[in-house]
A and B are shown apart, each in its own frame.
Chain A
Amino acid sequence: AQSVTQLDSQVPVFEEAPVELRCNYSSSVSVYLFWYVQYPNQGLQLLLKYLSGSTLVESINGFEAEFNKSQTSFHLRKPSVHISDTAEYFCAVSVGNDMRFGAGTRLTVKP
């Protein structure tokens, strides 16, 4: 079965600094990859996804992630973060109907 490892449980950064949230997965078959964001007291929201095609995917709010098959990674990056990006970020891998989530990375953006 597939699994997901988020390498950092907490990432504190200053506003306008770049950030990278790391995600590695394991699977013996082709997968779909996702990043979800969870703001306090809210449900998970899909941030971006990789299904096929270009290995670099972008979200509408400036985040991007790159699928690296050889390193089995799907790291999330943003060149300049805002206070409003403070949230919990979950990486997920899907094979068929089975979606597995990582333990999450808490991004805290400080002024």
Chain B
Amino acid sequence: DTGVSQNPRHKITKRGQNVTFRCDPISEHNRLYWYRQTLGQGPEFLTYFQNEAQLEKSRLLSDRFSAERPKGSFSTLEIQRTEQGDSAMYLCASSLRTHEAFFGQGTRLTVV
């Protein structure tokens, strides 16, 4: 068990470009979460999958954000037409039960 893996660890992009992040959860974990964390703040919930179904989306997730989890395994989070305000750490977590979430190390996005 290698834990939750996120790639890339760091991403620098120009404003207006699209970016995609990947999360590989712990195998057999059927629940997967995406959070966003900005400096000095706690993680903010973005979206949640149970298997391949996206069951919840935060109002923080604008139309420029899309997440998928094909086949209920890895997940991707895409941000289209990035803005400077999208700069943050994007965290992925997985769990088998709702109260034991394991986090990856995150992808730090910097939009210049």
Contacts and interface: CB of A to CB of B under 8 A. Distances in A.
Q: Do A and B come from one complex?
A: yes
Interface of A: 4, 6, 9, 32, 34, 36, 41-46, 49, 51, 90, 92, 94, 96-104
Contacts of A92: 42
B102 A103 contact: no
A34 B80 CA distance: 33
17 contacts: A6-B42, A9-B40, A32-B98, A34-B99, A43-B103, A43-B104, A44-B91, A45-B103, A46-B100, A51-B99, A94-B99, A97-B56, A99-B33, A99-B45, A101-B42, A101-B44, A104-B41
Nearest to A49: B99
A104 B40 contact: yes
Q: Which of A92, A98, A99 has the most B CB atoms < 10 Å from its CB?
A: A99
Residue among B41, B44, B55 with the highest chain A CB neighbour number at 10 A = B41
Interface of B: 4, 31, 33, 35, 40-45, 48, 50, 55-56, 91, 93, 98-106
B42 A42 contact: no
B106 A43 contact: yes
Contacts of A36: 103
A99 B35 CA distance: 10
A100 B56 CA distance: 14
Contacts of B35: 101
- Nearest 10 CB-CB pairs, A to B? A101-B42, A43-B103, A44-B103, A43-B105, A32-B99, A101-B43, A90-B42, A103-B42, A102-B42, A104-B42
